Amino acid sequence: MEYYLVKWKGWPDSTNTWEPLQNLKCPLLLQQFSNDKHNYLSQVNKGKAITPKDNNKTLKPAIAEYIVKKAKQRIALQRWQDELNRRKNHKGMILVENTVDLEGPPSDFYYINEYKPAPGISLVNEATFGCSCTDCFFEKCCPAEAGVLLAYNKNQQIKIPPGTPIYECNSRCQCGPDCPNRIVQKGTQYSLCIFRTSNGRGWGVKTLVKIKRMSFVMEYVGEVITSEEAERRGQLYDNKGITYLFDLDYESDEFTVDAARYGNVSHFVNHSCDPNLQVFNVFIDNLDTRLPRIALFSTRTINAGEELTFDYQMKGYGDLSSDSVDHSPAKKRVRTVCKCGAVTCRGYLN
């Protein structure tokens, strides 16, 4: 007869018991147990057929250890997923998935929904004036006051070229929440999944639903720091082979966004030299041109299950030649090898 060693929820390991299959009313856990066992044997055998001798009367200690670690990881990732969904303030849900290895939630990452200013940096998040339009499509609205075109069409798709700033209606405007010029401020509308990549790129993000071309997907948020501080942190990050610094250089290069410790889903979006997301600078309540918000829009239709990527050297401008952009303010840095796999891959992230 087959027996299973059961850890009872809420009870210490000392109360574990061996139970026959007919005593277990947990089909999902049993299926996960079987899947984890099969996955471990597949990894050990490296694709070879699993023979009956692999299913011995007793589980080998290494298999048992793997199954326990996988179960603990599953619980930890579920708790992290719940925490992310408690903290986020947008419509889209966040899922977490790791079918690749035993990596659990990041230990030093804190989810935020908007910029977190470092000590000494002030973010003015209240506009001083707004529009009085009854229909922002046809009247002189906030973009016109700023000397630029309205960024969106009636399908909520962006219609301006990269490098052109977006001026959305703000808290002082008399138009309501359904105004067609309020897109980025409503946050991510799509359900996304943070998943473990299988080719050594760590975590990534994929969409769970189809995203139409030229649609707003997410903001890039993090800690706002000075460029001098970014220079110092950049050296540390390069030595670890990670890149989370994004220069706010729309009109000046005083500030940088660092999403290493504080960020949202965008923290986990990987680089690609042929990305499906494009960067735009956005101004809503804070009209300080030194501190634009960073919005990521789809460049094409993105199908459900497809990974989301953006070019880490992209600055919201059309020109992506190697001498015109620099993702980080620091020069003479350790170069990080790119693993994006694109036909047009430049070879390095920085």
Is 8 part of any known ligand binding site? no
**Same domain? 80 vs 95:** no
**Same domain? 117 vs 221:** yes
Asked if residue 156 has pLDDT above 60, the reply is: yes
CA–CA gap between residue 277 and residue 218 (Å, rounded): 10
pLDDT score of 56:
60
Residue 2 maps to which CATH number? 2.40.50.40
Q: What domain range includes position 237?
A: 91-308
Asked if residue 350 has pLDDT above 60, the reply is: yes
Query: Residues 296-316: pLDDT tens digits?
Result: 999 999 999 999 999 988 754
Domain assignment present for residue 3? The answer is yes
Is 193 part of any known ligand binding site? no
Please count the other Cβ atoms lying within 10 Å of the Cβ belonging to residue 134.
Answer: 9
Domain assignment present for residue 223? The answer is yes
Q: How confident is the model at residue 321 (pLDDT cuts 50, 70, 90)?
A: very low
**Same domain? 266 vs 232:** yes
Pick from 184, 170, 256: nearest CA to 218:
184
Single out the catalytic residue among 40, 115, 220, 237. Answer: 220
Cβ-Cβ contacts under 8 Å for 216 (sequence gap 6 or more): 156, 158, 183, 184, 189, 295, 296, 297
Is 142 part of any known ligand binding site? yes
Query: Residues 70-85: pLDDT tens digits?
Result: 999 999 999 999 999 9
Q: How confident is the model at residue 161 (pLDDT cuts 50, 70, 90)?
A: very high
Domain assignment present for residue 336? The answer is no
Domain assignment present for residue 331? The answer is no
Is 345 part of any known ligand binding site? yes
pTM over 0.75: yes
**Same domain? 108 vs 155:** yes
Asked about 348 being catalytic, the answer comes back as no
**Same domain? 147 vs 191:** yes
Query: Residues 2-50: pLDDT tens digits?
Result: 899 998 989 999 999 999 999 999 999 999 999 999 989 988 877 566 6
**Same domain? 158 vs 33:** no
**Same domain? 216 vs 286:** yes
**Same domain? 142 vs 78:** no
Q: Reduced to 3 states, what is the DSSP secondary structure of residue 97? A: strand
pLDDT score of 255:
94
β-strand pairing of 293-298 with 216-220: antiparallel
Of the chain, the percentage scoring pLDDT greater than 70 comes to 91
Domain assignment present for residue 255? The answer is yes
Q: Lowest-confidence range among 31-40, 121-130, 324-333?
A: 324-333
Domain assignment present for residue 121? The answer is yes
Asked if residue 324 has pLDDT above 50, the reply is: no
Residue type, 41: L
**Same domain? 71 vs 145:** no
Domain assignment present for residue 108? The answer is yes
Asked about 220 being catalytic, the answer comes back as yes
Is 26 part of any known ligand binding site? no
**Same domain? 140 vs 284:** yes
- What is the mean pLDDT of the segment spanning 225-236? 92
Please count the other Cβ atoms lying within 10 Å of the Cβ belonging to residue 142.
Answer: 27
Number of domains the chain contains: 2
**Same domain? 17 vs 162:** no
Q: What is the largest CA-CA distance in the chain?
A: 79
Asked if residue 320 has pLDDT above 70, the reply is: no
Residue 263 maps to which CATH number? 2.170.270.10
- Residue ending a domain, among 31, 50, 84, is 84
**Same domain? 31 vs 126:** no
Pick from 167, 171, 140, 172: nearest CA to 152:
167
Domain assignment present for residue 51? The answer is no
- What is the mean pLDDT of the segment spanning 194-209? 95
